[in-house]
Amino acid sequence: MPNAEAYKVRREPFYQPQGDEAELYAAAYAARLPVMLKGPTGCGKSRFVEYMAWKLGKPLISVACNEDMTAADLVGRFLLDADGTRWQDGPLTLAARVGAICYLDEIVEARQDTLVVIHPLTDHRRTLPLDKKGELVEAHPDFQLVISYNPGYQSLMKDLKQSTKQRFTAFDFDYPAAKLETAIIARETGLAEATAAKLVKVGQAGRNLKGHGLDEGISTRLLVYAATLIKRGVDAGDACRMALVRPITEDGDVRSTLEHAIDLAFA
Ligand SMILES: Nc1ncnc2c1ncn2[C@@H]1O[C@H](COP(=O)(O)OP(=O)(O)OP(=O)(O)O)[C@@H](O)[C@H]1O
Ligand SMILES: [Mg+2]
């Protein structure tokens, strides 16, 4: 039996709440209801799950989903070794056995036939059938499923089915309000709040371009990158171009709008 302790979050992660999401999540966990975290990239979803796992003292097993992922990647498979075949649990099975919070990141990326394996775990059954092995795993009482989902990337081809969506409670995440985001950046990097506030201004200028040349605004993650560079002595303009402009767009007009916002903020 694998050791649940190995998956515990060791140190308290820094997480700045935006509202009462920690209390609401705790209520969902107490009832073992599955949770969906919706929101744009880099706004704190993964950090929140780490924080909640730490707060609740439960192990956390995270899986980054992608379109090549098969059900076996989640559930497990037989492996060949010197003594013949040996079953190896996938991360979902492992989490169900040890009683971990299982965090499936970017769930829409996974194919529909991969996704249905989570269904029996998310309703009253709380079971996971291992068809190939002929075993029905009953989820440990502490097991909980959490998925993340970025509605921005969603296309008709790549949306979750209602039968999947309607197995979850959900939280809407978004970039924090300016004051909170400034505090997060300062706390994460040690940068002075006054400088962090200037980065937040640039971030907001970028977010205003969403739908006007940008698919997604500048994330809190990228603002933390820029702050990290500035804290290390990189010129603010260079740091902003490296972290806030070049990664997100090639569009000349959008880039010059962002350049202008950087000049204004750091004038
Ligand atoms: N509320 C917050 N408290 C503390 N740090 C935060 C918060 N929100 C964002 N951050 C910072 O932003 C970074 C990115 O957050 P995180 O990795 O949780 O994003 P995400 O929403 O999971 O993004 P993705 O969808 O791309 O996985 C974190 O590493 C952290 O530095
Ligand atoms: Mg994440």
Pairwise CA distance, residues 263 & 65, whole Å: 39
Query: Do the beta carbons of residue 83 and residue 140 sit within 8 Å?
Result: no
Which tokens in the block code for residue 52? 């909640």
Query: Do the beta carbons of residue 105 and residue 150 sit within 8 Å?
Result: no
Could you give the angle at the alpha carbon of 136 between the alpha carbons of 66 and 58, nearest 5°?
Answer: 65
- Tell me how far the alpha carbon of residue 261 lies from the centroid of ligand 1, in angstroms: 23
Which tokens in the block code for residue 66? 């992608």
Pairwise CA distance, residues 60 & 99, whole Å: 9
Produce one character per residue of 14-31: b if its CB has 16 or more CB atoms within 10 Å, e if not: ebbebeebeeebeebbee
- Tell me how far the alpha carbon of residue 15 lies from the centroid of ligand 1, in angstroms: 9
pLDDT for 20-67, tens place per residue?
A: 999 999 999 999 999 999 999 999 999 999 999 999 999 999 999 988
Does residue 97's CB lie within 6 angstroms of at least one atom of ligand 1? no
Does residue 14's CB lie within 6 angstroms of at least one atom of ligand 1? yes
pLDDT for 165-209, tens place per residue?
A: 999 999 999 999 999 999 999 999 999 999 999 999 999 999 999
pLDDT for 78-99, tens place per residue?
A: 999 888 999 999 999 999 999 9
State if pTM tops 0.75.
yes
Helix (H) or strand (E) holding 171: strand 169-172
CB count within 10 Å of CB 192 equals 13
Pairwise CA distance, residues 175 & 45, whole Å: 10
Which tokens in the block code for residue 261? 């916002």
Query: Do the beta carbons of residue 175 and residue 217 sit within 8 Å?
Result: yes
Sheet strands (E) in 27-168: 35-38, 60-64, 76-81, 84-89, 101-105, 127-130, 135-138, 144-149
Distance set, CA 64 to CA 48, 61, 177, 263 (Å): 16, 10, 28, 37
pLDDT greater than 60 at residue 154: no
Mutation pick for ligand 1 pocket among 14, 38, 46 (CB with most ligand atoms within 8 Å): 46
Q: Supply the pLDDT for residue 135.
A: 96
Q: Which of the four pLDDT bands, split at 50, 70 and 90, describes residue 153?
A: low
pLDDT greater than 90 at residue 112: no
pLDDT > 70 fraction of the chain, expressed in percent and rounded: 97
Q: Which residues contact 58 (CB under 8 A, 6 or more apart)?
A: 8, 29, 99, 100, 101, 142, 144
For residue 216, give the nearest of 164, 160, 169, 152 by alpha carbon: 152
Lowest mean pLDDT among 23-27, 110-114, 153-157: 153-157
Instruction: Tell which atom from ligand 1 comes closest to the C-alpha of 37.
Output: 21
Q: Which of the four pLDDT bands, split at 50, 70 and 90, describes residue 155?
A: low
pLDDT for 208-259, tens place per residue?
A: 999 899 989 999 999 999 999 999 999 999 999 999 999 999 999 999 999 9
Q: Supply the pLDDT for residue 107.
A: 84
Does residue 181's CB lie within 6 angstroms of at least one atom of ligand 1? no
Does residue 76's CB lie within 6 angstroms of at least one atom of ligand 1? no
Q: Which residues contact 57 (CB under 8 A, 6 or more apart)?
A: 8
Does residue 218's CB lie within 6 angstroms of at least one atom of ligand 1? no
